[in-house]
Amino acid sequence: MLITQQRDRFYYWRETFTFVENPTMAGNTFGTVFKLTTFGESHGVAIGGIIDGCPAGLEVDLDAVEAEMQRRKPGQSSIVTQRKEEDTVKFLSGIFEGKTTGTPIGFVIGNTDQKSRDYSHIKDTYRPSHADFTFDKKFGHRDYRGGGRSSARETACRVVAGAIAKQLLKDIKITAYVASVGELKLDKPHTEVDFSEIEKNPVRTADAATAVKMEHYIKQIKKQGDTVGGTITCVIQNVPQGLGEPVFDKLHAQLGKAMLSINAVKGFEFGSGFAGTKMLGSEHNDIFNKDGSTKTNYSGGVQGGISNGEDIYFTVAFKPVATIIQKQWTINAKGEEVEMMGKGRHDPCVVPRAVPIVESMAALALADFWMLNNLSKLDNF
């Protein structure tokens, strides 16, 4: 081979691999085998995704997908953003005669009620604690309308994939609920929560009286043009033993990544979490029953990064929404200090709509581990 040909080949491969390893805007895919890639901006034509690695032959209950979308969609009650989107999912591929074909499942969700005028004042001005500043610094060119790609609108795609992952997981039951809004707490450990209460109130907490207080508080905060944070607890039941891939892809590590990838998340507490630090080993150790189950479950259903068959539980902390309808000082792209006020339709508190997002991300993490676990033993081939 001529030296010039060799050189051209070298450059060809270098460029190819550089592209594959360092694609621009990396980070739009979650999962190793059961994978979700999402695309789209909040005020663009549509958002959507591709679910790859879903096995063939899964009967997809489209009504169940639709029901999950209704739980997340904007405009669903007076304590969430008043942007009105139907969030009907249009599947483009990968499902035939009601069953998955094992090929990529492509889907789109239209954006129909965007009001981009509300964002013209932040074209060159950064909302404090939103993603405007960092997206600008990283990419230099961004769709500022509605926060573009940084908007939680993208999480609609996660809910589509999560709804399918839930169906793949069959008996594994994933339930999330609002555990606190500001200082208002649902005063019950997850083991005493009545899951049937969650969908009966717009806050999605598991107690009617607490829900009334939380709803009232969110409305009050909204009137002041302000926002408030909260926490969501998630419980996963009927988990088979063996899910999780030590050492770097431990089950709770991936769940942490899944949760921390959700917009506005600031904390993830797994199993006994921070409270466990105040206990002694003699109190904290989960003592076995003869069948391998444990008498207590401070481990949160995971030991050594692998599920042990007990319930998995964790809590996710969400910050107060950044866009407030109050004047605040900020800076513009020229570095000048300017006063700005948020405009438009924002969530005064994200937790009511984040409940199905937390469940979906948990389902995606578990579906991936379920697929991977089938590869971990020769007996499975």
Ligand X SMILES: C=C(O[C@@H]1CC(C(=O)O)=C[C@@H](OP(=O)(O)O)[C@H]1O)C(=O)O
Annotated binding site for FMN: 149-151, 263-264, 304, 319-323, 345
Q: Which helix (H) or strand (E) holds 265?
A: strand 265-270
Of 157, 170, 156, 154, the C-alpha closest to 55 is: 170
Binding-site residue ranges for NADP(+): 72
Q: In what order do the strands lie in the sheet with 184-185?
A: 184-185, 173-181, 230-237, 312-318, 265-270
Position 254: which residue type? Q
Q: What's the closest the beta carbon of residue 362 comes to ligand X, in angstroms?
A: 19
Position 324 contacts ligand X (CB under 6 A) = no
Q: What's the closest the beta carbon of residue 29 comes to ligand X, in angstroms?
A: 20
Length of the chain: 381
Q: Following DSSP, what letter does each residue of 30-79 receive, concatenated?
A: E-SSSEEEEEE-TTSSEEEEEEE-PPTTPBP-HHHHHHHHHHH-TTSSTT
State the binding partner of 153 from ligand FMN, ligand X, none, CB within 5 to 8 A by kind. Answer: ligand X
Total of residues contacting ligand FMN (CB under 6 A)? 20
Helices (H) and strands (E) in the chain, counts: 8, 16
Q: Report the relative pairing of strands 230-237 and 173-181 from DSSP bridges.
A: antiparallel
Question: Which residue in the set 89, 108, 122, 131 belongs to the binding site for ligand FMN (CB under 6 A)?
Answer: 131
State the binding partner of 236 from ligand FMN, ligand X, none, CB within 5 to 8 A by kind. Answer: none
Question: Which residue in the set 263, 272, 299, 308 belongs to the binding site for ligand X (CB under 6 A)?
Answer: 263
How far CA 349 is from CA of 86, 214, 322, in Å, comes to 20, 10, 10
Question: Which residue in the set 31, 34, 71, 83 belongs to the binding site for ligand X (CB under 6 A)?
Answer: 83
Q: What's the closest the beta carbon of residue 76 comes to ligand X, in angstroms?
A: 10
Per-position x/- string for 116-135, each x denoting binding to ligand X as judged by CB under 6 A, each - no binding: --x-----------------
Position 344 contacts ligand X (CB under 6 A) = yes
Binding residues among 155-184 for ligand X as defined by CB under 6 A: 156
Q: What's the closest the beta carbon of residue 129 comes to ligand X, in angstroms?
A: 11
Show the tokens assigned to 241: 């033993």
